[in-house]
Amino acid sequence: MILFRGRRSEAGSVAESDPTFGLVQMIPRSLAVQTKVSVELMEDSLNLVTELPRVLAAAMAVELDRVSLLGTGTAPQPRGIANTSGIGTFAQDAMIASYANLSKARTAIMTANNGPVSAFVMAPRDEGSFTDLVDSNGNPLGMHPNIAAIPMLTTTSIPVDGGTGSDESTIIAGNFSRLLVGIRSDIRVEVLKTTAYTDNLQYTLLAHMRADVAVTQPGAFYTLTGVGQAA
């Protein structure tokens, strides 16, 4: 038998609730880059026509990744997670020595009723530091199942040269379903004949997109700052 306990008495009136909805405004920001390639190189390379647009598109995706996490919010740059008002944060200001601060971040997000935590996002260097953790006997340091169940994702978009020692980075924990990435126009790479073609026989490859990012629930994210390089 299942018992439901609530504030309403039998045959009593049902309380009325007035939910509050807020506006999440997204303003498409433009990202564009161009490069010039000689006619000779385009004609003499076996796969440059397909490979160079792919490389440009990949570079654009990395930049979108960066601003989604760390964007300043100063136009024309979107505001990323780390600079969103209301997120949780802890100044670790130390090297990685345990999983304790990952647990701290998870607990804060759960306490804010914004779980589950879907990922810890960090620089590859820091993921390597966690992988290398050992106990006093040199055995891999055990991780609590609640932390082990959360993927550690890496991105080179998080720098590792910040802080007073020029070797500090940031780890971002979050329920990433609370991050919106709005694509107004997808990444496009165009091969153009501009004045560079008539002047120097060079094609201009132009990559561009319009997008914005927004955090719908600041309590769903938590940053660990001042993460130093392991010895």
Per-residue pLDDT, 2: 47
Q: How many Cβ atoms are within 10 Å of 215's Cβ, its own excluded?
A: 22
**Total domains in the fold of the chain:** 1
DSSP 218: G
> Does 72 reside within a domain?
yes
pLDDT at 10: 81
Alpha-helical runs (H) found in the chain: 39-44, 48-70, 100-111, 124-131, 145-148, 195-200
Give the pLDDT score at 119.
Answer: 98
Q: Residue type at 78? A: P
| Residue 21 domain-assigned (yes or no) | no
For the chain, residues with pLDDT lower than 50 are 1-4
* pTM of structure: 0.85
Question: CATH number for the domain including 203?
Answer: 3.90.1690.10
In a domain, residue 43? The reply is yes
